């Protein structure tokens, strides 16, 4: 017999969540964490159709949840409409949770003289404009849920800065402002909007990251647990940023 959810959380079992960027290292971990909690999933990818389809099938088999794989370019209004239409075609009538893990940042340090304006614009488009487009497009489905939760993946770089990453820092700093604005705009519809801002992310099977003293990397699963915390939070908390810092302040 499953335990009742804590008073400050809602049961995720049977609800619907959309994970944008579900084939990335964090997005895949988030999808797995939500499926393990019984959530039905719409799993989005920009290009990796075979990967997202295999992921959807694996999670459905393992956890017995419904899954809908979608491939769409969310930087294109037509891609957003394709995503929305895919939900309608799959019979998804509401979204309890919307999580954005899409990023255009490739992880490589780029000093300003090696970072073109177009490359800067592409990361801002993927990391800032796409989350806005997602919320705007899917708001009717979010509004039908009983207290929907939006969780946007930010970065410690947007709060503290990082050398060689002006595009990432600018986009993620803007994401903080976007979350604050949306949290106010959507409050009357009982839709919360929060951020998870991790520091360096180290997959268990990847080479160790070169980190400065006092900095500890997080695993994708640890970041996913923080996202799941906001996804299941019943308390009226909105416009907040949860920093995942490897256990060090």
DSSP conformation letters of 152-194:
EE--THHHH--TTBHHHHHHHHHHHHHHHHHHHHTGGGT-EEE
In this prediction, residue 207 carries a pLDDT of 80
User: What is the reported pLDDT for 245?
Assistant: 86
Highest mean pLDDT among 11-25, 56-70, 232-246: 56-70
Q: What is the side-by-side order of every strand in the sheet holding 40-45?
A: 67-71, 40-45, 16-20, 97-100, 149-153, 192-198, 241-244
Mean pLDDT, the chain, rounded, equals 92
Residue 2: the pLDDT is 45
The pTM for the full model equals 0.93
Do residues 52 and 44 touch, judged by C-beta distance below 8 A?
yes
pLDDT tier for residue 1 given thresholds of 50, 70 and 90: very low
Superfamily (CATH H level) for 16-244: NAD(P)-binding Rossmann-like Domain (3.40.50.720)
Predicted confidence (pLDDT) per residue in 220-237, tens digit: 999 999 999 999 988 889
Q: What is the pLDDT of residues 112-137, one digit of tens each?
A: 999 999 999 999 999 999 999 999 99
pLDDT in tens, 22-40: 999 999 999 999 999 999 9
pLDDT at position 7? 61
């Amino acid at each position: 017999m499953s335990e009742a959810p804590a008073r400050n959380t809602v049961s995720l079992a049977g609800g619907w969540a959309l994970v944008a960027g579900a084939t990335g290292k964090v997005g895949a971990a988030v999808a797995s964490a939500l499926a393990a909690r019984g959530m039905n999933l719409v799993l989005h990818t920009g290009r990796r159709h075979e990967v997202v389809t295999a992921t959807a099938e694996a999670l459905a088999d393992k956890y017995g949840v419904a899954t809908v794989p979608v491939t769409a370019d969310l930087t294109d209004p037509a891609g957003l409409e394709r995503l929305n239409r895919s939900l309608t075609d799959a019979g998804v009538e509401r979204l309890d949770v919307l999580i954005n893990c899409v990023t255009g940042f490739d992880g490589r340090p780029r000093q300003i003289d090696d970072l073109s304006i177009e490359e800067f614009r592409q990361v801002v488009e993927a990391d800032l404009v796409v989350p806005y487009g997602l919320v705007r497009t899917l708001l009717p489905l979010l509004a039908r849920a009983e207290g929907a939760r939006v969780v946007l993946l930010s970065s410690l770089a947007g709060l503290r800065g990082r050398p060689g990453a002006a595009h990432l820092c600018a986009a993620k700093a803007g994401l903080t402002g976007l979350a604050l604005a949306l949290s106010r705009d959507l409050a009357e519809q009982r839709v919360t909007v929060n951020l998870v801002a991790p520091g360096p992310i180290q997959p268990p099977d990847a080479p160790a990251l070169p980190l400065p003293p006092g900095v500890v990397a997080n695993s994708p699963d640890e970041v996913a647990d923080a996202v799941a915390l906001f996804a299941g939070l019943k308390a009226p908390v909105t416009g907040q940023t949860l920093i995942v810092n490897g256990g060090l302040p």
